Amino acid sequence: MSIQASIEEKLKRAFSPERLVVMNESHLHAGHHHEESGHHATYDGTGETHFRVRLVSPKFAGMSRIERHRAVNELLGDELKGGVHALAIEPAAPGEPTRW
């Protein structure tokens, strides 16, 4: 299973979202540098290293923006430890305005 499919499946199970979009944005980061365990590396834009998550879930009602981000980050902890270097999260509760 791809990392993207794993992220989508976990978010669906945990948040029962009304809307969910998981975008692989790794290609946007080609040429960017990062340091990992003392080694310098450059992203080539392939693979599954950078994602944007947009979701609307009733479970976010009454939660602060920080609480929503924390909940998603905790859920996707394995992915963040295993190769996902960036995760942009755009959470909303039903009825809240979104930019998408």
Residue 39 falls inside a structural domain: no
Count of CB atoms situated within 10 Å of the CB of 36: 8
84: CB partners within 8 A, 6+ apart: 3, 48, 49, 50, 51, 76
Range of the domain at 21: 3-31+45-92
Residue 97 falls inside a structural domain: no
CA distance 40 to 58: 41
Give the chain's domain count: 1
CATH, residue 20: 3.30.300.90
Count of CB atoms situated within 10 Å of the CB of 73: 13
Residue 83 falls inside a structural domain: yes
Residue 100 falls inside a structural domain: no
Residue 11 falls inside a structural domain: yes
* Whole-number pLDDT of residue 74: 97
Residue 38 falls inside a structural domain: no
* Whole-number pLDDT of residue 13: 98
Residue 18 falls inside a structural domain: yes
Residue 40 falls inside a structural domain: no
In the chain (100 residues long), the average pLDDT of successive 10-residue segments reads 94 98 82 54 66 97 98 96 91 95
